Amino acid sequence: MSRWRKYTVMGFVVCLMHLSLADVALSADSVTPNPGLTRQRVDQFGVGAKVKVELTSGKKMKGSIQSIEDAGFLLAPSEAGSSTQVPYGEVAQLNLAKNTYKASGQPDSVGAKRVVAELAVGKHIMAKTAAGKEYHGNIQAIDADHFTMLPDYTTAPVQVAYSDVLQLGPNMSKGTKILIIVGVGIAVVVILAVALAKPSISIPPLG
């Protein structure tokens, strides 16, 4: 393998390692129990929210929040079965079943608010409103009836009422898009290099 091919492969491996280490760091942060934060998220999601729960023991559950109490919350299973009392101190990770929202007919302010709470302050998102506007930017603040976001390439934040949201979800940041484009480009170069490096098959002359 020539020197430039080695460098290309090494670059591709470095990009993959960078993305993998980032994922590991996020996973490590997500499994640290925080009863106060868990209680806050449960309150933000509210009764009826469909969630995914991972306990400190490693057990995973899915269901709907049936009731909210001081020491924990009651989780009704997605399928037939009895509800489970989940103490806040035993929750390693708590997320909505879906981190996207799309209105079916009239906007659902409760559903939109839950997704904003799931995404949290700082998250880069895409939001479409009933007025026909589409925003791409970072969440700056979350309030009772609206959230504030800073659209890309602007210095003026905007307030979006939950009752005006038609569609909402995470949006890739510019840095993530660049990493993906670079990774795809390197992968294409590696594939071409391997293809060109294959020895050609020669057919000996007859006779």
Residues near 19 by Cβ (< 8 Å), separated by ≥ 6?
179, 183
**pLDDT on residue 100:** 96
| Phi, psi values for residue 189, rounded to 5° | -65, -40
Q: What is the dihedral of CA 107, 110, 48, 74, to 10 degrees?
A: 160
Per residue in 85-98, pLDDT (tens digit) is: 999 999 999 999 99
Question: What's the mean per-residue pLDDT of the chain?
Answer: 82
**How would residue 152 be classed by pLDDT, with cut points 50, 70 and 90?**
very high
Q: What is the dihedral of CA 22, 24, 26, 29, to 10 degrees?
A: -140
Sketch out the chain's domains with CATH numbers: 31-96 (2.30.30.100), 99-174 (2.30.30.100)
Mean pLDDT computed over 61-74? 96
Tokens (6 digits) for 125: 């998102």
> Do 49 and 108 touch, CB atoms closer than 8 A?
no
**pLDDT on residue 17:** 47
Max Cα–Cα distance, the chain, nearest Å? 92
**pLDDT on residue 81:** 83
Residue 120 CB-half CA count within 13 A: 7
State the alpha helices, DSSP H only, in 31-143. Answer: 35-45, 109-119
Of 96, 102, 85, give the one whose Cα is nearest residue 41: 96
Per residue in 109-146, pLDDT (tens digit) is: 999 999 999 999 999 999 999 999 999 999 999 999 99
